[in-house]
A and B are shown apart, each in its own frame.
Chain A
C-alpha cells in the first residue's frame, strides 16, 4: 500500500511537472498532438474492426443458413460496412486536418 502511494505521488508530481518542461519548446498542445492522433486512430480502427467483424460474422452465418438470400445480405453487408467504416474515417479526417 505504501509503495502504491509513493508511485501515485511520483506520477502526480511528474504530471504536474510536464507543462514546465513543455514551456521550453513552444506550445504544449503541439507536443501531445501526434500522441493523441496515434491513440485516437488506434481506438477508432480497433473498435471499427470489432464492429465490422461482428457484421461479417453474422452475415456469413446468415448466408450459411439461407444461401438463397445471398444478394440481399450482400447489399446490407456492404452498406453496413461502409457506415461502420465511415466512423473510423471521420477520426482519420479530423487527424489529417488538425494535426500538423
Chain B
C-alpha cells in the first residue's frame, strides 16, 4: 500500500470498487486494487472541483454596477493573460484565451497546493505535467492545421526544398523535445523545491526551512507563468502565416 493523504484515503474508501471496475473495462490492472487512485489524481480532482466552483461563482456573480471581489480577481487574471497573449501571439489571440487561462490557473493552483500541509503538489508527479504537455502539443498542432491548412507541413520542411530531407527529422525531434522539456521543467522544479524544503526540515525543523518555502512559492508562480508563456509562443509559431 502506498502512503495516502487524507483526501486520497477518503476517496479510496468510498470509490475504490467502481474505479476498479472502470479500469478493468479499459484492461488496466491497478497495482493496489484497494487503493486505485493515487495522490496526484486525488489532488488533481480537488483542483478541478475548486476551479469549477470558482468559475461557476464568477459567472453567477457577474454584474456591472458593483463588482464583487471574485469578479475583480477574475478580471485581473483575464487582463494579465490577455495582455501576455496579445504581446506574444498578436492578432487573433482571443480564440486561445480560455485554454491558456485554464492551463495557467490549473498549474498555478496545483503548484501552490504543495505548500499547504495535508495536501501535495500533483505537478511533482511526472505524469501530471506530461498530461499538460501532451494536451498543449495536440492543441497547437490542431490550431496550426486549422489556420494554415496543408501549408502547415511547409513549416517542417525548412526554407529551401533541397534541405527538406535533413530538416524534417530535425523539426519532428524538436517538436517532440518541446513536450519533454515542458514536462521535465515543471516536474523537476516542483520535485526539487519540495526535496530542498524536506532536506532542510530534516536538518533543523524550526525557522530554517521558511526561506526555502518562500523560494518554492516564487518558483511555483514563475513555473506556472512559464508553462503558459511557452504554450503561447508555440501557438504563435504554429499559427503564424509565412509570407
Residue positions of A touching B, CB distance < 8 A = 71-72, 75, 78-79, 82-83, 85-86, 89-90, 92-93, 96
* CB <8 Å contact, A79 and B184: no
B154 at the interface (CB under 8 A from A): no
* CB <8 Å contact, B192 and A79: no
CA distance A71 to B185 in the complex (A): 23
Which one, A72, A86, A92, contacts B181 given CB within 8 A?
A: A86
Chain B residues with CB under 8 Å of A86's CB are 181, 184-185, 188
Nearest 8 A-B pairs (CB), nearest first? Answer: A89-B188, A82-B226, A86-B185, A93-B188, A92-B188, A86-B181, A93-B184, A92-B192
CA distance A86 to B183 in the complex (A): 10
Chain B residues with CB under 8 Å of A72's CB are 87
Which residue of chain B is the closest to A72 with respect to CB atoms?
B87
Chain A residues with CB under 8 Å of B223's CB are 82
CA distance A35 to B139 in the complex (A): 42
* CB <8 Å contact, B87 and A78: no
Measured CB to CB, the closest approach of chain A to B134, in angstroms, equals: 18
CA distance A52 to B38 in the complex (A): 36
Chain A residues with CB under 8 Å of B192's CB are 89, 92
* Contact digits for B95-109, partner A, Cβ 8 Å, 1 yes 0 no: 000000000000000
Chain B residues with CB under 8 Å of A71's CB are 87
Which one, B87, B187, B191, contacts A75 given CB within 8 A?
A: B87
Measured CB to CB, the closest approach of chain B to A40, in angstroms, equals: 14
CA distance A71 to B88 in the complex (A): 11
Chain B residues bordering chain A, tally (CB within 8 A): 18
B70 at the interface (CB under 8 A from A): no
Measured CB to CB, the closest approach of chain B to A49, in angstroms, equals: 15
B189 at the interface (CB under 8 A from A): yes
CA distance A71 to B184 in the complex (A): 27
Measured CB to CB, the closest approach of chain A to B177, in angstroms, equals: 11
CA distance A92 to B195 in the complex (A): 12
Measured CB to CB, the closest approach of chain B to A30, in angstroms, equals: 21
- Given A78-B226, A79-B226, A79-B233, check contact A90 B87 (CB 8 Å): no
- Given A86-B181, A93-B188, A96-B191, check contact A75 B84 (CB 8 Å): yes
Measured CB to CB, the closest approach of chain A to B191, in angstroms, equals: 7
Which residue of chain A is the closest to B180 with respect to CB atoms?
A90
CA distance A78 to B230 in the complex (A): 10
Which one, B84, B87, B185, B230, contacts A89 given CB within 8 A?
A: B185
Chain B residues with CB under 8 Å of A92's CB are 188, 192
- The residues in B between 201 and 243 inclusive whose CB is less than 8 angstroms from any CB of A are 222-223, 225-226, 229-230, 233
Query: Given A86-B185, A93-B184, list of 7 further CB < 8 A pairs?
Result: A71-B87, A78-B226, A82-B223, A82-B230, A85-B185, A90-B188, A93-B188
- A-B contacts, 8 of them at CB < 8 A, read A72-B87, A75-B229, A82-B223, A83-B181, A85-B185, A89-B184, A89-B188, A93-B188
Chain B residues with CB under 8 Å of A79's CB are 226, 229-230, 233
